[in-house]
């Protein structure tokens, strides 16, 4: 799971830099809104990029629970884990 979280964090950094034109660092403890200065559009761009990269779905309810980069990283990693388990469960 740690490796997956590192991969998710790297993708968050890439999206922030390339698509949101963020010039600073992106660290797990940073607040998405205060430190990274994301607004609802920026959060949407970030969410869609993560959904496309990891083939998962994030909802508006998910966004309400997010405060930090670490929160987003854990959420995406858990969704990736859930989607990986679904096919195995369907075969049982």
Residues, the chain? 92
pLDDT tens digit string along 1-15?
Answer: 789 999 999 999 999
DSSP state of 24: S
Burial of 35 (0-12, 13-18, 19+ CB in 10 A): middle
Model confidence at 73: pLDDT above 80: yes
pLDDT tens digit string along 21-55?
Answer: 999 999 999 999 999 999 999 999 999 999 999 99
Q: What average pLDDT does the chain have?
A: 91
Which pLDDT value is given to residue 92? 45
Model confidence at 89: pLDDT above 70: no
Which pLDDT value is given to residue 66? 93
Enumerate domains of the chain plus CATH numbers.
2-91 (1.10.1200.10)
CB-based contact 67:61 (threshold 8 Å): no
């Amino acid at each position: 799971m740690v490796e997956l979280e590192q991969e998710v964090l790297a993708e968050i950094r890439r999206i922030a830099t390339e698509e949101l034109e963020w010039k600073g660092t992106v660290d797990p403890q940073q607040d998405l809104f205060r430190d990274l200065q994301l607004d609802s559009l920026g959060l949407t761009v970030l969410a869609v990029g993560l959904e496309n990269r990891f083939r998962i779905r994030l909802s508006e309810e998910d966004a309400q629970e997010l405060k930090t980069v670490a929160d987003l990283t854990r959420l995406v990693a858990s969704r990736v884990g859930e989607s990986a388990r679904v096919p195995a469960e369907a075969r049982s």
